[in-house]
Amino acid sequence: MFAGCSMTSLRISGSLTLEMRVTGGSDVMMAPQYGNQLGTCSIEVLTSLNADQGDRARFVETVIDAWSRLSDAIRR
């Protein structure tokens, strides 16, 4: 799923979904896109009400760990 991230030991429920939205920059001070001239990619982990919350928590942590290792071209 993610380069350098092993998901083989993680049981992922079929009721987990990633939703992605790409939006342009914004001049609104409180907007998450404020000051971002290249746009913003917002990703959410969605589950149904009967999803196993332990599976969800482990999946979310794995996703966050993988994303936190990402950087831009100048390693920011």
C-alpha dihedral, 21 to 24 to 26 to 32, nearest 10°: 30
In a domain, 7, yes or no: no
In a domain, 57, yes or no: yes
In a domain, 29, yes or no: yes
Number of domains in the chain: 1
- Output the pLDDT for position 19: 86
pLDDT in tens, 2-50: 444 444 445 555 666 778 888 888 889 998 888 888 888 888 878 777 7
> Which residues span the domain enclosing 49?
16-68
In a domain, 34, yes or no: yes
User: Where is pLDDT greater, at 62 or 7?
Assistant: 62
In a domain, 48, yes or no: yes
In a domain, 75, yes or no: no
Please say if the pLDDT value at position 68 is more than 60.
yes
- Output the pLDDT for position 7: 46
